[in-house]
Amino acid sequence: AQSVTQPDIHITVSEGASLELRCNYSYGATPYLFWYVQSPGQGLQLLLKYFSGDTLVQGIKGFEAEFKRSQSSFNLRKPSVHWSDAAEYFCAVGAPEYGNKLVFGAGTILRVKS
């Protein structure tokens, strides 16, 4: 079965600094990979997804993620963090042979300090 690990429970960065949130998955082939953000009052929103093609994926709000098969990783990055990026971020994994199940990581809470 697929699984997802987000090793950082909390991350604090200064406004304007770069950000990288880590995500590692366990799955034999190439899964479908997603990053969601949960902001207070806005629910869960899809940032970006990868299922084939270019391994560097661009998303909304200036985020990007890179799929690295050799490391089984799909880390989320942003070159310059804004205070409004403070939220909880979830990595998720799906696969065709697992039907419509989507497995989520435990989440990383991002705090932005001014």
Binding site for other proteins (CB under 8 A): 4, 6, 9, 32, 34, 36, 43-44, 46, 49, 51, 90, 94-96, 98-107
User: What minimum distance in Å lies between the beta carbon of 13 and other proteins?
Assistant: 20
Q: CA distances (Å), 60 to each of 1, 12, 94, in order?
A: 29, 21, 20
d(CA 50, CA 6): 17
User: What minimum distance in Å lies between the beta carbon of 51 and other proteins?
Assistant: 4
User: What minimum distance in Å lies between the beta carbon of 45 and other proteins?
Assistant: 8
Q: Which is nearer to other proteins, 90 or 112 (CB)?
A: 90
User: What minimum distance in Å lies between the beta carbon of 52 and other proteins?
Assistant: 8
